[in-house]
Amino acid sequence: MPVWQGHTPEARARVRACAARLRAGFEAAGAAPVECPILLPAATLLDLYGEDIRARAYVTSDALRGEQMMRPDFTVPVVEMHMAGGAEPARYTYAGEVFRRQEEDEARANEYLQVGVEIFDGSDPAAADAEVFALVRAATGGMQLRAATGDIGILMAAVGGLRTSAPRKAALMRHIWRPRRFRALLDRFAGRSEVPASRASLLAAADPFAGAGPDIGLRSRVEVEARIEALRADAGTPPISEREVALIDAVLSVRETLPYALENLRDIAVDMPAISEAVAGLAARAEALEARGIDTAALDFEAAYGRTHMEYYDGFVFGLYAGTRPDLPPVATGGRYDALTRVLGRRAGRPDGIPAVGGVVRPGLMVELGGAA
Amino acid sequence: MSVKLGVPSKGRLMEKTFDWFRERGIVLGRAGSDREYAGRVEGIDGVELVLLSAGEIPRELTEGRIHLGVTGTDLIREKLAGWDLRVEELAELGFGHADLVMAVPGCWVDVDTLDDLDAAASAFRERHGFRMRIATKYHRLVRDFLRDHGVADYQLVDSQGATEGVVKNETAEAIADITSTGETLRANHLKILSDGLILKSQATLFRSRRVEMSDADRAVLKDLTARLRVD
Protein backbone atom coordinates (compact mmCIF):
# COMPACT_ATOMS: atom_id res chain seq x y z
CA MET A 1 0.00 0.00 0.00
CA PRO A 2 1.41 3.43 -0.85
CA VAL A 3 1.88 5.54 2.25
CA TRP A 4 2.36 9.29 2.69
CA GLN A 5 5.18 10.41 4.98
CA GLY A 6 4.94 7.10 6.79
CA HIS A 7 1.19 7.41 7.29
CA THR A 8 -1.17 4.61 6.41
CA PRO A 9 -4.84 5.66 6.55
CA GLU A 10 -5.03 3.96 9.96
CA ALA A 11 -1.97 5.77 11.32
CA ARG A 12 -3.32 9.04 9.92
CA ALA A 13 -6.63 8.45 11.66
CA ARG A 14 -4.77 7.93 14.95
CA VAL A 15 -2.92 11.25 14.47
CA ARG A 16 -6.17 13.09 13.73
CA ALA A 17 -7.85 11.50 16.74
CA CYS A 18 -4.90 12.47 18.91
CA ALA A 19 -5.10 16.08 17.62
CA ALA A 20 -8.84 16.21 18.36
CA ARG A 21 -8.24 14.88 21.88
CA LEU A 22 -5.49 17.45 22.53
CA ARG A 23 -7.66 20.31 21.37
CA ALA A 24 -10.60 19.06 23.43
CA GLY A 25 -8.27 18.97 26.44
CA PHE A 26 -7.23 22.62 25.94
CA GLU A 27 -10.89 23.54 25.42
CA ALA A 28 -11.86 21.83 28.68
CA ALA A 29 -9.19 23.97 30.37
CA GLY A 30 -10.99 27.12 29.23
CA ALA A 31 -9.57 27.88 25.76
CA ALA A 32 -11.93 28.91 22.96
CA PRO A 33 -11.41 26.97 19.71
CA VAL A 34 -10.45 29.08 16.67
CA GLU A 35 -9.84 28.46 12.97
CA CYS A 36 -7.17 30.14 10.83
CA PRO A 37 -6.53 30.29 7.10
CA ILE A 38 -3.79 28.15 5.57
CA LEU A 39 -2.75 30.85 3.12
CA LEU A 40 -1.46 33.93 4.95
CA PRO A 41 -0.48 37.28 3.40
CA ALA A 42 3.28 37.08 2.89
CA ALA A 43 3.88 40.73 3.78
CA THR A 44 3.17 40.27 7.51
CA LEU A 45 5.50 37.30 7.85
CA LEU A 46 8.23 38.94 5.77
CA ASP A 47 7.97 42.08 7.87
CA LEU A 48 8.39 40.01 11.05
CA TYR A 49 11.06 37.55 10.04
CA GLY A 50 12.71 39.05 7.00
CA GLU A 51 14.20 37.01 4.21
CA ASP A 52 14.87 34.02 6.50
CA ILE A 53 11.18 33.11 6.48
CA ARG A 54 11.47 32.24 2.79
CA ALA A 55 13.83 29.42 3.75
CA ARG A 56 11.27 28.08 6.23
CA ALA A 57 7.87 28.66 4.61
CA TYR A 58 6.38 27.85 1.23
CA VAL A 59 5.52 30.88 -0.85
CA THR A 60 2.83 31.01 -3.51
CA SER A 61 1.00 33.82 -5.25
CA ASP A 62 -1.87 34.88 -7.45
CA ALA A 63 -2.51 38.02 -9.44
CA LEU A 64 -5.24 39.20 -7.06
CA ARG A 65 -3.82 38.79 -3.54
CA GLY A 66 -0.13 38.74 -4.43
CA GLU A 67 2.36 36.71 -2.43
CA GLN A 68 1.01 34.36 0.20
CA MET A 69 2.66 31.89 2.53
CA MET A 70 1.41 28.52 3.58
CA ARG A 71 0.90 28.79 7.34
CA PRO A 72 4.25 27.97 9.01
CA ASP A 73 2.60 28.29 12.43
CA PHE A 74 -0.60 29.58 14.04
CA THR A 75 0.86 32.24 16.29
CA VAL A 76 0.75 35.13 13.84
CA PRO A 77 -2.82 34.57 12.56
CA VAL A 78 -4.14 33.95 16.09
CA VAL A 79 -2.55 37.18 17.39
CA GLU A 80 -3.91 39.13 14.41
CA MET A 81 -7.38 37.67 14.87
CA HIS A 82 -7.33 38.50 18.56
CA MET A 83 -6.13 42.07 17.93
CA ALA A 84 -8.92 42.58 15.43
CA GLY A 85 -11.63 42.12 18.02
CA GLY A 86 -10.78 40.00 21.03
CA ALA A 87 -10.79 41.28 24.60
CA GLU A 88 -8.33 40.24 27.29
CA PRO A 89 -8.00 37.98 29.08
CA ALA A 90 -8.39 35.39 26.34
CA ARG A 91 -7.42 31.76 25.85
CA TYR A 92 -7.49 30.13 22.42
CA THR A 93 -6.87 26.65 21.07
CA TYR A 94 -6.50 25.37 17.52
CA ALA A 95 -5.54 22.29 15.54
CA GLY A 96 -4.41 22.11 11.94
CA GLU A 97 -1.69 21.56 9.41
CA VAL A 98 1.44 23.68 9.32
CA PHE A 99 3.91 23.68 6.44
CA ARG A 100 7.68 23.94 6.76
CA ARG A 101 9.97 24.14 3.82
CA GLN A 102 12.89 21.73 4.25
CA GLU A 103 16.13 22.45 2.43
CA GLU A 104 18.62 20.47 4.48
CA ASP A 105 17.12 17.20 5.63
CA GLU A 106 14.67 15.19 3.53
CA ALA A 107 13.74 13.09 6.56
CA ARG A 108 12.09 16.10 8.24
CA ALA A 109 8.34 16.42 7.67
CA ASN A 110 7.33 19.41 5.56
CA GLU A 111 3.70 19.30 6.69
CA TYR A 112 2.26 18.11 9.96
CA LEU A 113 -0.56 18.68 12.40
CA GLN A 114 -0.04 21.12 15.22
CA VAL A 115 -2.31 21.64 18.23
CA GLY A 116 -1.78 24.74 20.32
CA VAL A 117 -2.97 26.90 23.14
CA GLU A 118 -2.36 30.67 23.45
CA ILE A 119 -3.03 32.86 26.48
CA PHE A 120 -3.41 36.66 26.21
CA ASP A 121 -3.53 37.74 29.84
CA GLY A 122 -1.23 40.27 31.42
CA SER A 123 -2.61 40.09 34.96
CA ASP A 124 -0.07 37.53 36.19
CA PRO A 125 2.60 36.60 33.62
CA ALA A 126 4.26 33.98 35.84
CA ALA A 127 0.93 32.23 36.36
CA ALA A 128 0.15 32.33 32.63
CA ASP A 129 3.60 30.88 31.81
CA ALA A 130 3.05 28.08 34.30
CA GLU A 131 -0.46 27.47 33.03
CA VAL A 132 0.71 26.95 29.43
CA PHE A 133 3.60 24.72 30.49
CA ALA A 134 1.38 22.63 32.76
CA LEU A 135 -1.30 22.26 30.04
CA VAL A 136 1.23 21.14 27.43
CA ARG A 137 3.00 18.87 29.90
CA ALA A 138 -0.30 17.27 30.89
CA ALA A 139 -1.29 16.85 27.23
CA THR A 140 1.86 14.81 26.66
CA GLY A 141 1.61 13.20 30.09
CA GLY A 142 2.78 9.65 30.50
CA MET A 143 5.35 10.03 27.70
CA GLN A 144 8.38 10.63 29.94
CA LEU A 145 9.51 13.60 27.87
CA ARG A 146 12.57 15.58 28.91
CA ALA A 147 11.73 19.24 29.49
CA ALA A 148 14.19 21.99 28.56
CA THR A 149 13.37 25.52 29.69
CA GLY A 150 14.95 28.92 29.37
CA ASP A 151 14.28 32.63 29.62
CA ILE A 152 15.67 34.96 26.97
CA GLY A 153 14.43 37.91 29.06
CA ILE A 154 17.38 37.46 31.41
CA LEU A 155 19.97 37.96 28.65
CA MET A 156 17.96 40.94 27.39
CA ALA A 157 17.96 42.47 30.87
CA ALA A 158 21.72 41.90 31.13
CA VAL A 159 22.29 43.71 27.82
CA GLY A 160 19.98 46.52 28.93
CA GLY A 161 22.07 46.98 32.06
CA LEU A 162 25.47 47.28 30.35
CA ARG A 163 27.32 50.51 31.10
CA THR A 164 27.72 51.61 27.52
CA SER A 165 26.07 53.81 24.89
CA ALA A 166 22.44 53.41 23.82
CA PRO A 167 23.34 52.63 20.18
CA ARG A 168 25.65 49.79 21.34
CA LYS A 169 22.90 48.33 23.51
CA ALA A 170 20.41 48.63 20.66
CA ALA A 171 22.83 46.85 18.29
CA LEU A 172 23.31 43.98 20.76
CA MET A 173 19.58 43.79 21.44
CA ARG A 174 18.87 43.61 17.71
CA HIS A 175 21.07 40.53 17.44
CA ILE A 176 19.97 38.74 20.63
CA TRP A 177 18.63 35.90 18.45
CA ARG A 178 21.78 35.70 16.25
CA PRO A 179 24.51 34.47 18.63
CA ARG A 180 27.38 34.76 16.14
CA ARG A 181 26.76 38.39 15.26
CA PHE A 182 25.98 39.15 18.93
CA ARG A 183 29.38 37.74 19.94
CA ALA A 184 31.21 39.64 17.19
CA LEU A 185 29.57 42.91 18.31
CA LEU A 186 30.30 42.25 21.97
CA ASP A 187 33.97 41.55 21.17
CA ARG A 188 34.16 44.75 19.12
CA PHE A 189 32.50 46.88 21.82
CA ALA A 190 34.76 45.37 24.47
CA GLY A 191 37.84 46.26 22.43
CA ARG A 192 38.70 42.56 22.11
CA SER A 193 38.77 42.58 18.33
CA GLU A 194 40.64 45.06 16.21
CA VAL A 195 38.91 47.90 14.44
CA PRO A 196 38.78 46.94 10.73
CA ALA A 197 41.42 48.80 8.73
CA SER A 198 38.80 50.22 6.37
CA ARG A 199 36.96 51.80 9.28
CA ALA A 200 40.10 53.23 10.84
CA SER A 201 41.11 54.86 7.55
CA LEU A 202 37.57 56.15 6.96
CA LEU A 203 37.57 57.92 10.32
CA ALA A 204 41.08 59.27 9.76
CA ALA A 205 40.35 60.60 6.27
CA ALA A 206 40.24 64.38 5.74
CA ASP A 207 37.55 63.88 3.09
CA PRO A 208 35.87 60.48 3.50
CA PHE A 209 34.13 60.92 0.14
CA ALA A 210 37.31 61.44 -1.92
CA GLY A 211 37.19 59.23 -5.00
CA ALA A 212 33.90 57.66 -3.94
CA GLY A 213 32.17 58.07 -7.31
CA PRO A 214 28.78 59.63 -8.00
CA ASP A 215 25.87 59.45 -5.56
CA ILE A 216 23.56 56.71 -6.80
CA GLY A 217 20.68 54.83 -5.25
CA LEU A 218 18.08 55.52 -2.62
CA ARG A 219 20.49 55.56 0.33
CA SER A 220 21.49 59.20 0.29
CA ARG A 221 24.67 61.11 1.15
CA VAL A 222 22.92 62.32 4.32
CA GLU A 223 22.47 58.74 5.48
CA VAL A 224 26.11 57.88 4.80
CA GLU A 225 27.21 60.99 6.71
CA ALA A 226 24.93 60.08 9.61
CA ARG A 227 26.53 56.66 9.85
CA ILE A 228 30.04 58.14 9.74
CA GLU A 229 29.01 60.40 12.63
CA ALA A 230 27.69 57.36 14.51
CA LEU A 231 30.98 55.52 13.87
CA ARG A 232 32.93 58.53 15.17
CA ALA A 233 30.81 58.64 18.31
CA ASP A 234 31.29 54.90 18.76
CA ALA A 235 35.06 55.17 18.31
CA GLY A 236 35.05 57.68 21.19
CA THR A 237 33.01 55.40 23.46
CA PRO A 238 35.06 53.57 26.09
CA PRO A 239 35.09 49.76 25.76
CA ILE A 240 32.62 47.62 27.68
CA SER A 241 34.58 46.37 30.70
CA GLU A 242 35.99 42.84 30.87
CA ARG A 243 34.00 42.44 34.07
CA GLU A 244 30.70 43.15 32.31
CA VAL A 245 31.56 40.84 29.40
CA ALA A 246 32.36 38.12 31.95
CA LEU A 247 28.94 38.67 33.55
CA ILE A 248 27.19 38.31 30.16
CA ASP A 249 29.17 35.09 29.62
CA ALA A 250 28.18 33.93 33.10
CA VAL A 251 24.49 34.49 32.29
CA LEU A 252 24.84 32.65 28.96
CA SER A 253 26.52 29.66 30.55
CA VAL A 254 23.86 29.02 33.22
CA ARG A 255 22.73 25.45 32.67
CA GLU A 256 21.33 23.66 35.71
CA THR A 257 18.12 22.33 37.15
CA LEU A 258 15.80 25.25 37.81
CA PRO A 259 16.43 25.72 41.57
CA TYR A 260 20.23 25.72 41.10
CA ALA A 261 19.99 27.97 38.05
CA LEU A 262 17.98 30.42 40.11
CA GLU A 263 20.61 30.41 42.85
CA ASN A 264 23.35 30.89 40.27
CA LEU A 265 21.51 33.80 38.62
CA ARG A 266 20.90 35.45 42.00
CA ASP A 267 24.66 35.36 42.57
CA ILE A 268 25.24 37.00 39.19
CA ALA A 269 22.57 39.60 39.99
CA VAL A 270 24.62 40.79 42.97
CA ASP A 271 27.21 42.06 40.48
CA MET A 272 24.67 42.90 37.80
CA PRO A 273 21.58 44.37 39.48
CA ALA A 274 19.98 45.04 36.07
CA ILE A 275 18.89 41.39 35.85
CA SER A 276 17.34 41.34 39.34
CA GLU A 277 13.82 41.97 38.09
CA ALA A 278 14.08 39.29 35.40
CA VAL A 279 15.49 36.84 37.97
CA ALA A 280 12.63 37.68 40.33
CA GLY A 281 10.28 36.90 37.44
CA LEU A 282 11.98 33.53 37.01
CA ALA A 283 11.54 32.85 40.73
CA ALA A 284 7.85 33.78 40.53
CA ARG A 285 7.47 31.42 37.56
CA ALA A 286 9.16 28.59 39.49
CA GLU A 287 6.67 29.12 42.31
CA ALA A 288 3.76 29.19 39.89
CA LEU A 289 5.00 25.96 38.32
CA GLU A 290 5.23 24.30 41.74
CA ALA A 291 1.69 25.50 42.46
CA ARG A 292 0.63 23.69 39.28
CA GLY A 293 2.23 20.49 40.54
CA ILE A 294 5.40 20.66 38.40
CA ASP A 295 8.51 19.37 40.14
CA THR A 296 10.95 22.21 39.34
CA ALA A 297 13.87 20.33 40.92
CA ALA A 298 13.64 17.98 37.93
CA LEU A 299 13.32 20.78 35.36
CA ASP A 300 16.37 21.76 33.28
CA PHE A 301 17.02 25.45 32.80
CA GLU A 302 19.40 26.90 30.24
CA ALA A 303 19.71 30.70 29.93
CA ALA A 304 20.62 30.40 26.22
CA TYR A 305 17.84 27.89 25.38
CA GLY A 306 15.83 28.76 22.27
CA ARG A 307 18.09 31.63 21.34
CA THR A 308 18.80 30.50 17.78
CA HIS A 309 15.40 29.21 16.72
CA MET A 310 12.75 31.15 18.62
CA GLU A 311 13.02 34.72 17.35
CA TYR A 312 10.70 37.16 19.17
CA TYR A 313 10.41 34.84 22.18
CA ASP A 314 11.56 37.25 24.84
CA GLY A 315 10.79 35.52 28.12
CA PHE A 316 9.96 31.98 29.18
CA VAL A 317 10.75 29.32 26.52
CA PHE A 318 10.42 25.55 26.70
CA GLY A 319 10.64 22.35 24.69
CA LEU A 320 9.65 18.77 25.47
CA TYR A 321 11.90 16.10 23.95
CA ALA A 322 11.81 12.32 23.65
CA GLY A 323 15.02 11.29 25.42
CA THR A 324 15.11 7.99 23.55
CA ARG A 325 14.85 9.61 20.13
CA PRO A 326 17.37 12.45 19.80
CA ASP A 327 16.83 12.34 16.03
CA LEU A 328 13.30 13.74 16.40
CA PRO A 329 12.40 17.41 16.76
CA PRO A 330 10.75 18.41 20.05
CA VAL A 331 7.26 16.95 20.61
CA ALA A 332 6.14 20.26 22.10
CA THR A 333 7.52 23.79 22.28
CA GLY A 334 6.33 27.12 23.57
CA GLY A 335 7.07 30.38 25.25
CA ARG A 336 6.33 34.01 25.84
CA TYR A 337 6.33 36.30 22.81
CA ASP A 338 5.38 39.78 23.99
CA ALA A 339 7.95 41.20 21.51
CA LEU A 340 6.10 39.69 18.56
CA THR A 341 2.76 41.19 19.63
CA ARG A 342 4.42 44.62 19.85
CA VAL A 343 5.56 44.36 16.24
CA LEU A 344 2.20 43.08 15.02
CA GLY A 345 0.45 45.65 17.22
CA ARG A 346 2.05 48.55 15.35
CA ARG A 347 -0.24 47.88 12.41
CA ALA A 348 -3.27 47.10 14.53
CA GLY A 349 -2.98 50.33 16.55
CA ARG A 350 -1.74 48.50 19.63
CA PRO A 351 1.98 49.35 19.70
CA ASP A 352 2.28 48.15 23.30
CA GLY A 353 1.27 44.66 22.21
CA ILE A 354 -0.40 42.11 24.45
CA PRO A 355 1.30 39.94 27.04
CA ALA A 356 1.17 36.57 25.27
CA VAL A 357 2.34 33.05 25.97
CA GLY A 358 1.57 29.83 24.14
CA GLY A 359 2.59 26.30 23.37
CA VAL A 360 2.18 23.76 20.57
CA VAL A 361 2.15 19.97 20.43
CA ARG A 362 2.80 17.68 17.44
CA PRO A 363 0.31 14.80 17.59
CA GLY A 364 2.12 13.05 14.72
CA LEU A 365 5.21 12.68 16.88
CA MET A 366 3.11 11.54 19.85
CA VAL A 367 1.66 8.74 17.73
CA GLU A 368 5.10 7.85 16.36
CA LEU A 369 6.45 7.63 19.91
CA GLY A 370 3.50 5.54 21.05
CA GLY A 371 2.30 8.14 23.51
CA ALA A 372 -1.04 9.07 21.98
CA ALA A 373 -3.20 6.54 23.81
CA MET B 1 20.61 2.85 -23.43
CA SER B 2 23.61 5.11 -23.49
CA VAL B 3 25.50 7.43 -21.19
CA LYS B 4 24.08 10.92 -21.58
CA LEU B 5 26.33 13.95 -21.35
CA GLY B 6 24.69 17.36 -20.93
CA VAL B 7 26.60 20.38 -22.26
CA PRO B 8 25.53 24.05 -22.42
CA SER B 9 23.93 24.64 -25.79
CA LYS B 10 25.34 28.06 -26.58
CA GLY B 11 28.25 30.41 -26.68
CA ARG B 12 31.69 30.33 -25.18
CA LEU B 13 30.78 27.80 -22.51
CA MET B 14 29.83 25.28 -25.22
CA GLU B 15 32.91 26.00 -27.37
CA LYS B 16 35.29 25.74 -24.42
CA THR B 17 33.64 22.52 -23.25
CA PHE B 18 34.06 21.06 -26.74
CA ASP B 19 37.74 22.12 -26.65
CA TRP B 20 38.26 20.51 -23.24
CA PHE B 21 36.87 17.17 -24.45
CA ARG B 22 38.77 17.38 -27.77
CA GLU B 23 42.06 17.76 -25.89
CA ARG B 24 41.22 14.42 -24.28
CA GLY B 25 40.40 12.66 -27.53
CA ILE B 26 36.62 12.97 -27.48
CA VAL B 27 35.11 15.07 -30.25
CA LEU B 28 31.76 16.69 -29.51
CA GLY B 29 29.71 18.70 -31.97
CA ARG B 30 26.27 19.63 -33.21
CA ALA B 31 24.61 16.95 -35.28
CA GLY B 32 23.44 19.12 -38.16
CA SER B 33 23.16 22.84 -38.57
CA ASP B 34 24.24 25.40 -36.01
CA ARG B 35 20.65 25.77 -34.94
CA GLU B 36 20.04 22.13 -34.15
CA TYR B 37 20.25 21.06 -30.51
CA ALA B 38 21.03 17.39 -31.16
CA GLY B 39 24.69 16.51 -30.67
CA ARG B 40 27.20 14.01 -32.00
CA VAL B 41 30.09 12.26 -30.25
CA GLU B 42 33.20 10.82 -31.91
CA GLY B 43 35.99 8.86 -30.29
CA ILE B 44 33.88 6.72 -27.98
CA ASP B 45 30.79 4.54 -28.40
CA GLY B 46 27.74 4.56 -26.18
CA VAL B 47 27.89 8.26 -25.23
CA GLU B 48 25.10 10.61 -26.26
CA LEU B 49 25.51 14.39 -26.27
CA VAL B 50 22.53 16.43 -25.05
CA LEU B 51 22.69 20.18 -25.60
CA LEU B 52 20.84 22.06 -22.86
CA SER B 53 20.60 25.50 -21.31
CA ALA B 54 23.31 25.68 -18.58
CA GLY B 55 20.59 26.59 -16.08
CA GLU B 56 18.68 23.37 -16.74
CA ILE B 57 21.65 21.04 -16.34
CA PRO B 58 21.46 20.90 -12.48
CA ARG B 59 17.84 19.78 -12.62
CA GLU B 60 18.50 17.19 -15.35
CA LEU B 61 21.34 15.75 -13.26
CA THR B 62 19.30 15.54 -10.08
CA GLU B 63 16.32 14.02 -11.91
CA GLY B 64 18.69 11.39 -13.32
CA ARG B 65 17.89 12.22 -16.95
CA ILE B 66 21.57 12.76 -17.77
CA HIS B 67 24.58 10.90 -16.33
CA LEU B 68 27.13 13.67 -16.74
CA GLY B 69 26.76 17.39 -17.13
CA VAL B 70 28.88 20.51 -17.53
CA THR B 71 27.69 23.62 -15.74
CA GLY B 72 28.84 26.27 -13.27
CA THR B 73 29.32 25.47 -9.58
CA ASP B 74 27.17 28.53 -8.86
CA LEU B 75 24.13 27.03 -10.60
CA ILE B 76 24.55 23.62 -8.94
CA ARG B 77 24.74 25.14 -5.46
CA GLU B 78 21.91 27.60 -6.05
CA LYS B 79 19.49 25.08 -7.52
CA LEU B 80 20.23 21.87 -5.60
CA ALA B 81 19.70 21.64 -1.84
CA GLY B 82 22.13 19.09 -0.44
CA TRP B 83 23.93 19.24 -3.78
CA ASP B 84 26.79 16.93 -2.74
CA LEU B 85 24.31 14.11 -2.12
CA ARG B 86 22.87 14.53 -5.59
CA VAL B 87 25.91 15.09 -7.79
CA GLU B 88 29.64 14.42 -7.66
CA GLU B 89 32.21 16.93 -8.89
CA LEU B 90 34.45 15.05 -11.35
CA ALA B 91 36.62 17.86 -12.66
CA GLU B 92 36.94 21.62 -12.68
CA LEU B 93 37.39 22.54 -16.31
CA GLY B 94 39.49 25.66 -15.84
CA PHE B 95 37.23 28.16 -17.62
CA GLY B 96 34.01 30.02 -16.99
CA HIS B 97 35.52 31.53 -13.86
CA ALA B 98 33.15 33.78 -11.99
CA ASP B 99 32.75 34.97 -8.42
CA LEU B 100 29.41 35.52 -6.74
CA VAL B 101 29.92 38.70 -4.70
CA MET B 102 28.07 41.26 -2.61
CA ALA B 103 28.41 44.75 -4.05
CA VAL B 104 27.21 48.18 -2.89
CA PRO B 105 27.44 51.69 -4.37
CA GLY B 106 30.94 53.18 -4.28
CA CYS B 107 29.45 56.28 -2.64
CA TRP B 108 28.72 54.20 0.47
CA VAL B 109 32.13 55.06 1.90
CA ASP B 110 30.95 53.85 5.32
CA VAL B 111 30.30 50.30 4.11
CA ASP B 112 33.23 47.96 3.49
CA THR B 113 32.30 44.77 5.40
CA LEU B 114 29.19 42.67 6.07
CA ASP B 115 29.22 44.15 9.55
CA ASP B 116 28.86 47.62 7.98
CA LEU B 117 26.17 46.35 5.61
CA ASP B 118 24.15 45.00 8.54
CA ALA B 119 24.38 48.29 10.43
CA ALA B 120 23.51 50.28 7.31
CA ALA B 121 20.53 47.98 6.68
CA SER B 122 19.22 48.60 10.18
CA ALA B 123 19.42 52.39 9.78
CA PHE B 124 17.98 52.19 6.27
CA ARG B 125 14.91 50.29 7.48
CA GLU B 126 14.33 52.80 10.25
CA ARG B 127 14.53 55.72 7.84
CA HIS B 128 12.68 54.33 4.83
CA GLY B 129 10.21 51.99 6.51
CA PHE B 130 11.19 48.94 4.48
CA ARG B 131 14.06 46.51 4.41
CA MET B 132 17.14 47.26 2.33
CA ARG B 133 16.72 45.60 -1.07
CA ILE B 134 19.42 43.36 -2.48
CA ALA B 135 18.94 42.37 -6.11
CA THR B 136 20.09 38.91 -7.21
CA LYS B 137 19.14 35.78 -9.08
CA TYR B 138 20.99 33.58 -6.55
CA HIS B 139 18.36 33.70 -3.80
CA ARG B 140 19.32 30.61 -1.85
CA LEU B 141 23.09 31.16 -1.89
CA VAL B 142 22.76 34.80 -0.88
CA ARG B 143 20.20 34.13 1.85
CA ASP B 144 22.30 31.33 3.38
CA PHE B 145 25.43 33.49 3.20
CA LEU B 146 23.79 36.49 4.87
CA ARG B 147 22.14 34.33 7.51
CA ASP B 148 25.46 32.64 8.34
CA HIS B 149 27.02 36.06 8.77
CA GLY B 150 24.15 37.44 10.83
CA VAL B 151 23.05 40.19 8.45
CA ALA B 152 19.45 41.26 9.12
CA ASP B 153 16.91 43.82 7.88
CA TYR B 154 17.40 43.14 4.18
CA GLN B 155 15.14 41.67 1.51
CA LEU B 156 16.02 39.99 -1.74
CA VAL B 157 14.48 41.23 -4.95
CA ASP B 158 14.67 39.09 -8.05
CA SER B 159 16.85 40.25 -10.91
CA GLN B 160 17.46 37.91 -13.81
CA GLY B 161 19.70 40.21 -15.83
CA ALA B 162 21.41 43.62 -16.00
CA THR B 163 21.57 43.43 -12.21
CA GLU B 164 24.35 46.03 -12.04
CA GLY B 165 21.86 48.69 -13.17
CA VAL B 166 19.25 48.27 -10.43
CA VAL B 167 20.89 50.60 -7.92
CA LYS B 168 20.91 53.54 -10.29
CA ASN B 169 17.29 52.75 -11.18
CA GLU B 170 16.50 52.68 -7.44
CA THR B 171 14.82 49.28 -7.55
CA ALA B 172 17.44 47.95 -5.11
CA GLU B 173 20.12 49.37 -2.81
CA ALA B 174 22.75 46.65 -3.24
CA ILE B 175 23.35 43.57 -5.40
CA ALA B 176 24.73 40.05 -5.25
CA ASP B 177 25.91 38.97 -8.68
CA ILE B 178 28.44 37.05 -10.69
CA THR B 179 31.54 38.90 -11.80
CA SER B 180 34.76 37.77 -13.45
CA THR B 181 36.83 40.95 -13.69
CA GLY B 182 34.70 43.43 -11.75
CA GLU B 183 34.66 45.67 -14.83
CA THR B 184 30.86 45.91 -15.14
CA LEU B 185 30.52 46.56 -11.41
CA ARG B 186 33.00 49.44 -11.57
CA ALA B 187 31.36 50.87 -14.67
CA ASN B 188 28.11 50.99 -12.70
CA HIS B 189 29.78 52.68 -9.69
CA LEU B 190 29.55 49.59 -7.48
CA LYS B 191 32.23 48.13 -5.20
CA ILE B 192 32.66 44.64 -3.78
CA LEU B 193 32.56 44.25 0.02
CA SER B 194 35.96 43.16 1.36
CA ASP B 195 34.39 40.03 2.94
CA GLY B 196 31.63 39.80 0.32
CA LEU B 197 32.83 36.77 -1.65
CA ILE B 198 29.94 34.29 -1.55
CA LEU B 199 31.24 31.65 -3.94
CA LYS B 200 34.02 31.07 -6.47
CA SER B 201 32.55 29.34 -9.48
CA GLN B 202 33.85 27.78 -12.68
CA ALA B 203 32.64 25.36 -15.35
CA THR B 204 32.70 21.89 -13.80
CA LEU B 205 31.96 18.34 -14.97
CA PHE B 206 29.42 16.73 -12.66
CA ARG B 207 28.21 13.14 -12.36
CA SER B 208 24.64 12.44 -11.25
CA ARG B 209 24.35 10.24 -8.16
CA ARG B 210 20.66 9.73 -8.89
CA VAL B 211 20.73 7.97 -12.25
CA GLU B 212 19.87 4.34 -12.93
CA MET B 213 22.50 2.52 -14.95
CA SER B 214 22.80 -0.80 -16.76
CA ASP B 215 26.06 -2.75 -16.58
CA ALA B 216 26.81 -1.62 -20.12
CA ASP B 217 26.30 2.05 -19.12
CA ARG B 218 28.60 1.55 -16.16
CA ALA B 219 31.32 0.17 -18.42
CA VAL B 220 30.96 3.10 -20.84
CA LEU B 221 31.09 5.61 -17.98
CA LYS B 222 34.21 3.95 -16.57
CA ASP B 223 35.89 4.06 -19.99
CA LEU B 224 34.87 7.68 -20.53
CA THR B 225 36.08 8.94 -17.13
CA ALA B 226 39.36 7.04 -17.63
CA ARG B 227 39.90 8.71 -21.00
CA LEU B 228 39.02 12.10 -19.57
CA ARG B 229 41.42 11.32 -16.71
CA VAL B 230 38.78 12.25 -14.13
CA ASP B 231 38.18 8.77 -12.64
Residues B184 and B104 in one domain: yes
The answer on pLDDT for A299 being more than 90 is yes
Contact (CB<8Å) A174/B154: no
Domain total for chain B? 2
How far is the C-alpha of A44 from the C-alpha of A347, rounded, in Å? 10
Domain residues for B136?
98-201
Residues B113 and B179 in one domain: yes
Give yes or no for a contact between A202 and A228, defined as CB atoms under 8 angstroms apart: yes
Q: What are the two backbone dihedrals, phi and then psi, of residue B172, each rounded to the nearest 5 degrees?
A: -160, 160
Give yes or no for a contact between A296 and A165, defined as CB atoms under 8 angstroms apart: no
Residues B55 and B104 in one domain: no
**DSSP state, residue A299:** -
- How much is the pLDDT for B35? 62
Chain B contact for A181, CB < 8 A? yes
ipTM: 0.86
C-alpha closest to that of A100 among A341, A313, A326, A329: A329
Q: Which residues of B touch A101 (CB under 8 A)?
A: none
Instruction: Please count the residues of chain A.
Output: 373
Residues B110 and B186 in one domain: yes
- CATH number of the domain residue B18 falls in: 3.40.190.10
Residues B210 and B188 in one domain: no
The region that residue A100 occupies, defined by phi over 0 for left and psi between -120 and 50 for alpha, beta otherwise, is: beta
Contact (CB<8Å) A199/B116: yes
Nearest C-alpha of chain A: how many angstroms from B214?
27
How far is the C-alpha of A33 from the C-alpha of B24, rounded, in Å? 70
Contact (CB<8Å) B152/A50: yes
Averaged pLDDT in 10-residue chunks for chain B of 231 residues: 89 94 92 72 92 93 94 93 91 94 97 96 94 95 93 93 90 94 92 96 94 90 91 75
How far is the C-alpha of A24 from the C-alpha of A94, rounded, in Å? 10
Where do the H-state alpha helices sit in A217-312?
A: 221-235, 242-252, 258-271, 276-291
CA B125 distance to own-chain centroid:
31
pLDDT digits (tens, 9 = 90+) for A238-258: 999 999 999 999 999 999 999
pLDDT digits (tens, 9 = 90+) for B44-62: 999 999 999 988 999 999 9
pLDDT digits (tens, 9 = 90+) for A3-60: 666 678 888 899 999 999 999 999 999 999 999 999 999 988 988 888 888 888 999 9
Residues B124 and B174 in one domain: yes
- Residues in contact with A85: Cβ distance below 8 Å, sequence separation at least 6, in sequence order: none
**Model pTM above 0.95:** no
Residues B41 and B53 in one domain: yes
What ranges do the domains of chain A cover?
Answer: 192-238
